Structure 1
Amino acid sequence: MAPKAREELVVPYRHVPAKARKDAGSLISQSLPMAAMFMKNKMLSWAALFLSIQTYLNEPINKVEEDGSQPPLLKVVFALVAVLTCYIDIIFPQTNPSIKKAADVATEITSTIVSTATS
């Protein structure tokens, strides 16, 4: 049997959390959904969703809270809203007749220009 340690030599354990690192992925996952919503770019919105999920999964458990930082779950919800914003035209299609008429006129002009240029 191993000898018991003397009590005056025992040092109690004190946990010191690791210092927070500046993470570029967190910055990108916070700003990319807004860019996707402004541009209505589906690829950006999906990339924002995957990056925010990755940031959420890589978030340390014992992270020191910083001022002005969003919680990781809020970043995921924000990216999900960006994806839904890009696909809102499928749910609520635009039925404005003047827009449809303008698109038809533009298509007709383009087709006549192309046909005259090729002949």
Structure 2
Amino acid sequence: MAPSKDMRRPDLVVPYQEPAASTDKADFSSTLSSTMPMAAMFTRSKFVGWAAVVFSVQSWLGESQEAKRSSGTPGYLNVLMAVAALGVTYMPLFLPPSAAPAGSAKAPAPILPQ
């Protein structure tokens, strides 16, 4: 077996340099994780509530050091907001609304002319 000839040249090797992070890009996942709990509370949708929990946990776990410094709210606060929104969507299950009959209110007696 003949030894293979190595064609790589050590003088052409370029060391890896990590590219600088862009600071002007919008953090869409953080925006989504903070607005979805509000949408879940307004619509009382359990599906949107669970999606808000998943997105907020994902955003919290994927938070970079730069995002931590520049963000106004910490990631765990978005998670707590999403859990609260999920609680609001399930609230009618534990605290059912009072069932007032629709036709229980009586109309006032008519005023007869004298």
TM-score normalised according to structure 2 size: 0.63
**Cα distance, 1:23 vs structure 2:** 1.5
Q: Counterpart of 1:39?
A: 43
**Cα distance, 1:18 vs structure 2:** 4.7
**Structure-to-structure mapping, 1:90-105, within 5 angstroms:** 90-98=93-101
Q: Counterpart of 2:91?
A: 88
CA distance in structure 2 between the aligned counterparts of 1:28 and 1:64, rounded to whole angstroms: 16
**Cα distance, 1:44 vs structure 2:** 0.5
CA distance in structure 2 between the aligned counterparts of 1:32 and 1:81, rounded to whole angstroms: 12
Q: Counterpart of 1:111?
A: none
Q: Counterpart of 2:70?
A: 66
Higher helix proportion (structure 1 or 2)? 1
CA 1:73 to 1:62, structure 2 compared with 1: closer, same or farther past 3 Å?
A: same
Q: What letter corresponds to residue 97 of structure 1 in structure 2?
A: A
RMSD: 2.3
Aligned-partner SS, 1:80: helix
How many residues are treated as equivalent by the alignment?
84
Percent of aligned positions that are identical = 30
CA distance in structure 1 between the aligned counterparts of 2:97 and 2:67, rounded to whole angstroms: 45
| Gap runs ≥5 in structure 1 | 1-16, 103-119
TM-score normalised according to structure 1 size: 0.61
**Contact conserved, 2:63 with 2:75, CA < 8 A, in 1?**
yes
CA 1:33 to 1:98, structure 2 compared with 1: closer, same or farther past 3 Å?
A: same
Q: What letter corresponds to residue 27 of structure 2 in structure 1?
A: D
**Contact conserved, 2:68 with 2:74, CA < 8 A, in 1?**
no
| Gap runs ≥5 in structure 2 | 1-19, 105-114
